[in-house]
Chains A and B, each alone.
Chain A
């Protein structure tokens, strides 16, 4: 297949000479949030007719449902309806349809929804849910992803072979292997023969929870006319609309009848992407037509019945020459993907494509294996699998450098991937600033200079690691935007990219402002309503600054073209001479002539015969990466172009360890990320500061603990600790690198997830540097260090 160059619809505009883009303007949603005016899904009012649902959950990780008795619950005053699997025999799933709205004949994780009670009060609903009696017949519990691949393991999904799925998944029927992404490049045997040193080890990563502070909240209304509206805390309003319409099609719904309204989101991190518990609001609404029904997730449910970050057992084998060149990488990853993998299998796929890390390696063998287990469904979490595999890979890279007597930073400089190098799946690497990222990170942490603690019981260690990540998305994931002028030349921009805290609304306003010269304070960008706002695939994968940003830029450019065409027609000025400045149309041919936008963008331009030309200016923009393709050889992974580009960078850390207790203190953390172009540098730095702390917490102490029957032992903030204001590093140094992405808006590419990815390997390597202890399993707790 011929490799197509990325399509660029216009020559890249200047990425340096910008007036708004590249400047740290204040967030356009800041004041709304600081005054408490911002409305989140749980804040919306639905009046006294609102009903509330409580979920009957499975107490078992794996069992057959023998009988469900709802009679006692139905008799409780205030109960409107009790439903279970038989009422909704519908499957759903983003990439593979392996889930039902409610469990059908069997349950596959503790906490799975078996039935629901709808009542006029949430407390009555909860009391009634406790009265639903479910009889179970226990089945063997499968928890270990490696053991689950054995031929004699109990099967979670005997129907796997018949599940509909995307063409780039390769499930193995009659096994627990839901997908197996293989990459074969060069000759792995030859690569290991060329090596002087071969290093092999296994790394383990547990499950983690997103812990957005806002729990999921969703309300559905199936009105008397048959229209279904869902208000949800959502990263994915259009994907949710699509999956609701698909799953509930047997009820006669079409997409036009389904509407998702997504207000501000109180933190996403992947946990509110795709469809998990949101489908309950859609389904339950159809059971009580005419009345809104609300499903509010508790903090405990947030932990055990949304998505979790998957655990992984990763076997890394690396071949290196004495001179420090990497000759071969064999990387086998067994993912504990949980009971349903409709989204999580694509995490596994993404890792399979990219588990070389940002290194040029000629001989590669990757097996990324998605394994069903009786734990809650795995799914997207900031970093989409990359944090997990980088723990092992970047630990291993440092160890390989030491094994051949090289400085780990020099070793990375030698092997780092460069623009044009061949990726593991055969396509070419995009422009990137990895070399600069290495240099600036090394300088920020004083690499090469050993530091000593003032406390004789403490030792200081340092490390520097690399990272990369590509958006994992279908090849035809699209973004679109409408842009409407108002009478005073202020703007309303309609998109369906979600504001999940990252600052998307502000960045989109800046892009439109740059092109149309309307100041950011005169631009409003609203969160979506799928009836009103145009299509966006999802706000995931660190792709909306790039994808939605391109759509907004195209919409603004479209509006500008309409403006110029109108002025040419109405004022008889050559359109090619026109330009915008300070909300005014000007012409290079007529110095001194100026037409303010507010004079005509709604009402048109009056011409000599006193008629008007033009009318409301409406910009329309769309973006889809037309060069991407997900289809490749299943045995080698060669032949497609599944990733649109990689965002790359480096992370460095200086930490202090108490040799007696093993307690780790982060003195300094630096993270350099090549964002192509920082649309708003302050918001980029905010992503780095926040993502790094989230990553450091997974490295140092966060940890989901399950008992041997698959029950989560710590589904609350008392037992699953997330960082407080007292747990921040001594210093965080955000470093912005700008190597333009040719097809990005003003050269920008995404960077939200990347800030978390290198954290675990940073800590692991610095621990070894400080105390000589190599840890192979996360989290890297004081206990493990002290015991080693």
Chain B
């Protein structure tokens, strides 16, 4: 099958690549580019472990074809972790994750929420991460970590 040439920005760097028409964005990132934070959990868009930012919005990279990202900007947890956010620090402080397999997806979904809504209610947080399945934690420690980050950010803003 004929390969498709694409150009895109990945974690701030312009990239050019030739991909197979049937390759998913997840396959391209993991197998082609060594970006391992998006995981293969179900390959059907159900579990959210493959979450990445595509043009600023979270997307399930197992449901996006690589050929579709021509001209797009992709950010993965690798790109965000270079400058760890207060959210990430609070999640660590609260022992929010156990096995950690869902963590990259949850971090990105929560990051997206806090960018658009710095003061979400607990229900809004629950909705924001409802697409990221976690089998270990019962979610409460994750919600507590996110809420602590919100409080920390609010405290910082209220400083003179």
- Least Cβ–Cβ distance between A729 and chain B, in angstroms: 8
- Least Cβ–Cβ distance between A482 and chain B, in angstroms: 25
A723 to B88, CA, bound (A): 23
Residues of B within 8 A of A35 (CB): 77, 81, 84, 88
Flag whether A693 is at the interface (Cβ < 8 A): yes
Given A212-B135, A726-B127: A34 touches B42 (CB 8 Å cut-off): no
Interface residues of A in 279-297 (CB under 8 A from B): 296
Q: B95: which of A30, A32, A39, A213 is its contact (CB, 8 Å)?
A: A30
Given A33-B103, A42-B40, A299-B44: A725 touches B139 (CB 8 Å cut-off): yes
A211 to B76, CA, bound (A): 25
25 A-B pairs in the complex with CB atoms less than 8 angstroms apart? A27-B92, A27-B95, A30-B92, A31-B92, A34-B97, A36-B76, A36-B77, A36-B103, A45-B34, A213-B133, A264-B99, A268-B99, A299-B43, A501-B99, A686-B141, A689-B141, A690-B138, A691-B138, A693-B138, A694-B138, A716-B46, A717-B46, A725-B125, A725-B142, A732-B140
Asked if A690 and B98 make an inter-chain contact with CB atoms under 8 angstroms apart, the answer reads yes
Flag whether B130 is at the interface (Cβ < 8 A): yes
A213 to B97, CA, bound (A): 13
Flag whether A718 is at the interface (Cβ < 8 A): yes
Asked if B41 and A26 make an inter-chain contact with CB atoms under 8 angstroms apart, the answer reads no
Residues of A within 8 A of B91 (CB): 30, 34
The residue in chain A whose Cβ has the minimal distance to the Cβ of B92 is A30
Asked if A36 and B41 make an inter-chain contact with CB atoms under 8 angstroms apart, the answer reads no
Residues of A within 8 A of B43 (CB): 298-299
A183-213 interface bits toward B, Cβ cutoff 8 Å, 1 = contact, 0 = none = 0000000000000000000000000001111
Flag whether A214 is at the interface (Cβ < 8 A): yes
Q: A266: which of B34, B46, B99 is its contact (CB, 8 Å)?
A: B99
Q: Spell out B's residues near A (CB within 8 Å).
A: 22, 30, 34, 36-37, 39-44, 46-47, 49, 76-78, 81, 84, 88, 91-93, 95-104, 107, 125-127, 129-143
- Least Cβ–Cβ distance between A691 and chain B, in angstroms: 8
Residues of B within 8 A of A30 (CB): 91-92, 95-97, 100
A694-729 interface bits toward B, Cβ cutoff 8 Å, 1 = contact, 0 = none = 100000000000000000000011100011111010
Residues of B within 8 A of A136 (CB): none
Given A503-B98, A722-B135, A724-B130: A34 touches B103 (CB 8 Å cut-off): yes
Asked if B99 and A693 make an inter-chain contact with CB atoms under 8 angstroms apart, the answer reads no
Asked if A29 and B44 make an inter-chain contact with CB atoms under 8 angstroms apart, the answer reads no
Asked if B40 and A686 make an inter-chain contact with CB atoms under 8 angstroms apart, the answer reads no
Residues of B within 8 A of A213 (CB): 39, 41, 47, 49, 99, 101-102, 133-135
Asked if B93 and A26 make an inter-chain contact with CB atoms under 8 angstroms apart, the answer reads yes
Given A213-B49, A717-B44: A728 touches B139 (CB 8 Å cut-off): yes
Asked if A726 and B126 make an inter-chain contact with CB atoms under 8 angstroms apart, the answer reads yes
Residues of B within 8 A of A366 (CB): none
Flag whether A38 is at the interface (Cβ < 8 A): yes
Q: A264: which of B34, B78, B100 is its contact (CB, 8 Å)?
A: B100
A-B contact count (CB 8 A): 164
Residue among B81, B96, B103, B135 with most chain A CB within 10 A: B135
Asked if B126 and A718 make an inter-chain contact with CB atoms under 8 angstroms apart, the answer reads no
Asked if A717 and B98 make an inter-chain contact with CB atoms under 8 angstroms apart, the answer reads no
Given A34-B107, A35-B77, A298-B43: A26 touches B139 (CB 8 Å cut-off): no
Residues of A within 8 A of B76 (CB): 36
Q: B42: which of A268, A503, A682, A716 is its contact (CB, 8 Å)?
A: A716
Residues of B within 8 A of A264 (CB): 99-100
Q: Mostly helix, strand, loop or mixed at chain B's interface?
A: loop
The residue in chain B whose Cβ has the minimal distance to the Cβ of A42 is B40
A213 to B39, CA, bound (A): 9
Asked if A725 and B135 make an inter-chain contact with CB atoms under 8 angstroms apart, the answer reads no
- Least Cβ–Cβ distance between B92 and chain A, in angstroms: 4
A31 to B95, CA, bound (A): 9
Residues of A within 8 A of B22 (CB): 123
Asked if A501 and B98 make an inter-chain contact with CB atoms under 8 angstroms apart, the answer reads yes
Question: Can you name 5 extra interface pairs (CB under 8 A) apart from A299-B41, A690-B98, A717-B47?
Answer: A34-B107, A36-B81, A43-B36, A299-B46, A728-B126
Given A26-B93, A40-B39: A502 touches B34 (CB 8 Å cut-off): no
A503 to B136, CA, bound (A): 11
Q: A500: which of B41, B99, B137 is its contact (CB, 8 Å)?
A: B99
Q: A725: which of B30, B40, B104, B130 is its contact (CB, 8 Å)?
A: B130
A37 to B107, CA, bound (A): 13
Residues of B within 8 A of A212 (CB): 99, 101, 135
Asked if A36 and B44 make an inter-chain contact with CB atoms under 8 angstroms apart, the answer reads no
Residues of A within 8 A of B127 (CB): 725-726
Residues of A within 8 A of B133 (CB): 213, 717, 722, 724
Asked if B37 and A686 make an inter-chain contact with CB atoms under 8 angstroms apart, the answer reads no
Residues of A within 8 A of B140 (CB): 689, 728, 732
A87 to B121, CA, bound (A): 59
Flag whether A125 is at the interface (Cβ < 8 A): no
- Least Cβ–Cβ distance between A299 and chain B, in angstroms: 4
A378-403 interface bits toward B, Cβ cutoff 8 Å, 1 = contact, 0 = none = 00000000000000000000000000
A334 to B100, CA, bound (A): 37
Interface residues of A in 187-243 (CB under 8 A from B): 210-215
Residue among B101, B104, B141 with most chain A CB within 10 A: B101
- Least Cβ–Cβ distance between B109 and chain A, in angstroms: 10
Residues of A within 8 A of B47 (CB): 213, 299, 717
Asked if B81 and A37 make an inter-chain contact with CB atoms under 8 angstroms apart, the answer reads yes
Given A26-B93, A213-B41: A732 touches B138 (CB 8 Å cut-off): yes
A214 to B50, CA, bound (A): 11
Residues of B within 8 A of A298 (CB): 43
A37 to B36, CA, bound (A): 8
A503 to B96, CA, bound (A): 11
Residues of B within 8 A of A683 (CB): 95
A5-29 interface bits toward B, Cβ cutoff 8 Å, 1 = contact, 0 = none = 0000000000000000000101101
- Least Cβ–Cβ distance between A39 and chain B, in angstroms: 7
A722 to B139, CA, bound (A): 12
Residues of B within 8 A of A299 (CB): 41-44, 46-47
Flag whether A116 is at the interface (Cβ < 8 A): no
A689 to B40, CA, bound (A): 26
Flag whether A337 is at the interface (Cβ < 8 A): no
Identify the 8 closest CB pairs spanning chains A and B, nearest first.
A33-B100, A266-B101, A36-B37, A501-B99, A501-B98, A717-B46, A689-B138, A693-B138
Residues of A within 8 A of B135 (CB): 210-213, 267, 269, 690, 694, 722
The residue in chain A whose Cβ has the minimal distance to the Cβ of B109 is A725
- Least Cβ–Cβ distance between B18 and chain A, in angstroms: 16
Interface residues of A in 252-311 (CB under 8 A from B): 264-269, 296, 298-299
Flag whether A692 is at the interface (Cβ < 8 A): yes
A500 to B99, CA, bound (A): 6
- Least Cβ–Cβ distance between A43 and chain B, in angstroms: 4
A716 to B101, CA, bound (A): 18
Asked if B88 and A214 make an inter-chain contact with CB atoms under 8 angstroms apart, the answer reads no
Interface residues of A in 138-188 (CB under 8 A from B): none
Asked if B95 and A34 make an inter-chain contact with CB atoms under 8 angstroms apart, the answer reads no
Q: A267: which of B46, B81, B99, B143 is its contact (CB, 8 Å)?
A: B99
Asked if B100 and A38 make an inter-chain contact with CB atoms under 8 angstroms apart, the answer reads yes
Interface residues of A in 499-552 (CB under 8 A from B): 500-503
A726 to B126, CA, bound (A): 6
Q: A214: which of B39, B77, B129 is its contact (CB, 8 Å)?
A: B39
Residue among B49, B93, B100 with most chain A CB within 10 A: B100
Asked if A26 and B138 make an inter-chain contact with CB atoms under 8 angstroms apart, the answer reads no
Asked if B40 and A215 make an inter-chain contact with CB atoms under 8 angstroms apart, the answer reads yes
